[in-house]
Amino acid sequence: MKMAKLRLLLWISLALGSTGSSSVDGHTEGAAKLESYNVDAGETSVSGLSSGAFMAVQFHVSFSSTLKGAGITAGGPFYCAEGLISIAVSSCAVTPALIPVAQLVLLTKSDAAYGFIDSTSYLENSRVFLISGAKDTVVVQGVMEKLDEYYSTFVKSENIARNFSIPAGHGQLSNVYGSKCGTATVSSPYIINCDYPSGFVMLQHIYSDITYADDNAMIPENLLEFNQSEFFAGFPGLVSMDTTGYVYVPTQCQKGSACRLHIAFHGCRQGRGTIGDVFAVHAGYNGVAEMNNIIVLYPQVVKSTLTNPYGCWDWWGYTGPFYESYNVVAGETSVSGFSSGAFMAVQFHVSFSSIVKGAGITAGGPFYCADGYFSLAITRCTFSPIFIPVDYLMALTETYATSGLIDPTSNLESSRVFLISGTKDIVVVPGVMTKLEEYYSNYVKSENIEINFSIPAGHGQLSNMYGSNCGTSIVTAPYIINCDYPSGFVMLQHIYGDITYADDNAMIPENLLEFDQSQFFSGFPGLVSMDTIGYVYVPTQCQNGAACRLHIAFHGCLQGRGMVGDVFAVHGGYNGVAEINNIIVLYPQVASNILINPYGCWDWWGYTGPLYGVKEGLQMAGVKRMLDRIAQS
């Protein structure tokens, strides 16, 4: 389990900045670029309500070397949800007796040991204020008690203060604005007037020299909008972030005075898209901030229909359990695939030949074999290969390369290709693979192409450990055949040349991770027949920062997660070799779609549109984004 350390770090580094301020960018419409101010190092703190409270805890624990303290209203311990929405809405909200604090403390220490979060020793001198309304039925007091217990293992007890006695429901506590105190019923915008200036109380506890001021001390013009896009690689929506955030910058801070920085995380249904700037204006920070020279950053989440309909901060994993990028060696990425995954692997290899070093193909055919027609896919590209027009497909390849839809084919010359076809395959007959060999031979140096078309296998991924009987044409789900042939090793060895053999037993089960694919498909993977979840195998050394290679393995039809769970990802024959040789294996997952793709095949005939097989193909580009994420440094 890892935190979004790199991405979150962007926030803080940009926001902390150093002295000096550029002028507001007057050339763009909409929100301006976030400026830098003269921020005191070591004087930054966070707070949050509800999902923002869980976020504030995550942020505090992850960046404890940078943060001085945290104010938490209605939240719970670090990784309370353990990556699952089901736990988020049960244990971490209403059944706190089930929160395993000791285990979460261990997880925290292990994350710190791996370097995913800062050393927990920084927390000792941190200052923490905990607020829980006595009438809160959404995140009940027991959850905050567990948080208290969690923090107490790291933070000196005299540094933790709490108020659990205010008769408030679930909301941000104010002394100026909001709904009635004393009732469990709270509605939007979830700010409650309990005559309790929680912003002041938290900041005073964290900094201890704060002068009281109420919201009226706020100067409305000092609340600025800023452009959040630049902090999310231009695509904030992919991780459910709004394009625009708010920041309150006191007059003195705008003039260059040394100021503190506080980050306030709103709760679910409290983002800009839902209530505008109400949280940023009325949460109770800006008046105190104006008087005490504290810049208050209000980053804004946006709703995402499928993954995050209420606009909550991610504290259960809708942006994926791993956000970590790894130390991936450039130029050492390869692909392989079986059946529809084989056609996909060929497409991916030919389209992205500038970055894909080699391909292992089991039971597939040439680039654009189906030429956009399902009828051709299931005829010439499966059992009547004599009709595959290799010359035409090569001409098409050149046209696409010339127009930039795919990388120049000259990259393929030094690529390495391994082709496997079972002699008893009656689904994609060996003749289709022969056509693929003919196709590749036009581009790839002949000594770089190796084939094995002599194993008496039917239609399946070949293994030496797992699967159905070799020697027969009859193969059923999960389409893995034990032919005493370690195809994963054989392909990787041919592509890389220096691979040490290991069998599937060398796999470490915990290193096979699930991740959220939605973020790579604009939040709607189902629209392009992709699953919400994918798998990635990350060898221990790669998790520890070793330089690693990256391989993408595309499953066949009827082999995705919705059909066989993780069987292909576990038994496809890659992970043991990967563990021993430091290769990260990405297993993107297709989902079946009753109308366009009932068997859950990769798109190699056009159900996502005519550009299905080139760089901007909807599945192709999504997988490329996954690859970029894993490899980004």
Query: Catalytic one among 425, 516, 531, 603?
Result: 425
454 touching ligand NAG, by CB under 6 A = yes
Q: How far is the CB of 165 from ligand NAG (least distance, A)?
A: 5
Query: Given the rule CB under 6 A, which of 40-48, 226-234, 369-377, 403-411 is the region that contacts ligand NAG?
Result: 226-234
User: Which of 263, 218, 254 lies closest to 59 in space, CA to CA?
Assistant: 263
Q: How far is the CB of 141 from ligand NAG (least distance, A)?
A: 13
28 touching ligand NAG, by CB under 6 A = yes
To 10 degrees, the CA torsion angle through 441, 442, 448, 453?
Answer: -10
The binder of ligand NAG chosen from 8, 12, 31, 296 (CB under 6 A): 31
How far apart, in whole angstroms, are the C-alpha atoms of residue 345 and residue 362?
10
Q: How far is the CB of 281 from ligand NAG (least distance, A)?
A: 22
Number of H helices, E strands in the chain: 20, 22
The binder of ligand NAG chosen from 234, 305, 447, 497 (CB under 6 A): 234
User: Which of 319, 276, 325, 379 lies closest to 58 in space, CA to CA?
Assistant: 319
158 touching ligand NAG, by CB under 6 A = no
598 touching ligand NAG, by CB under 6 A = no
How far apart, in whole angstroms, are the C-alpha atoms of residue 83 and residue 61?
17
- Of 25 and 413, the one with the shorter C-beta distance to ligand NAG is 25
How far apart, in whole angstroms, are the C-alpha atoms of residue 295 and residue 429?
67
Residues present in the chain in total: 633
Q: Annotate each residue in 488-507 with x if it binds ligand NAG (CB under 6 A) or - if it does not, as one string.
A: --------------------
Query: Catalytic one among 47, 62, 240, 339?
Result: 339
Is 459 among the residues known to form the active site? yes
166 touching ligand NAG, by CB under 6 A = yes
Query: Given the rule CB under 6 A, which of 224-232, 249-257, 259-267, 470-478 is the region that contacts ligand NAG?
Result: 224-232
Query: Given the rule CB under 6 A, which of 57-65, 223-231, 293-301, 543-551 is the region that contacts ligand NAG?
Result: 223-231
Q: Annotate each residue in 187-216 with x if it binds ligand NAG (CB under 6 A) or - if it does not, as one string.
A: ---------x--------------------
How is 15-40 classified by DSSP, letter by letter?
Answer: HH--S--PPP-TTSSSSBPPPP--EE
- From the number of C-beta atoms within 10 Å of its C-beta (0-12, 13-18, 19+), residue 602 rates as buried
Task: At 72, list the tokens.
Answer: 């938490």
- Of 338 and 485, the one with the shorter C-beta distance to ligand NAG is 485
Is 566 among the residues known to form the active site? no
Q: How far is the CB of 193 from ligand NAG (least distance, A)?
A: 13
How far apart, in whole angstroms, are the C-alpha atoms of residue 521 and residue 143?
34
Spell out the residues 6+ positions from residue 504 whose beta carbon is closer than 8 angstroms to its own.
463, 465, 466, 570, 571, 573, 575, 576
How far apart, in whole angstroms, are the C-alpha atoms of residue 582 and residue 585?
10
Is 339 among the residues known to form the active site? yes
511 touching ligand NAG, by CB under 6 A = no
How far apart, in whole angstroms, are the C-alpha atoms of residue 450 and residue 360?
10
Q: How far is the CB of 415 from ligand NAG (least distance, A)?
A: 19
Q: How far is the CB of 234 from ligand NAG (least distance, A)?
A: 5
- Of 19 and 454, the one with the shorter C-beta distance to ligand NAG is 454
CB 304 within 8 A of CB 240: yes
Looking at residue 131, its amino acid is I
455 touching ligand NAG, by CB under 6 A = yes
How far apart, in whole angstroms, are the C-alpha atoms of residue 611 and residue 67?
48
Task: At 536, list the tokens.
Answer: 């990635």
Question: What residues are labeled active site?
Answer: 339, 425, 459
**Residues engaged in binding ligand NAG (CB under 6 A):** 28-31, 163, 165-166, 196, 227, 229-230, 234, 452, 454-455, 485
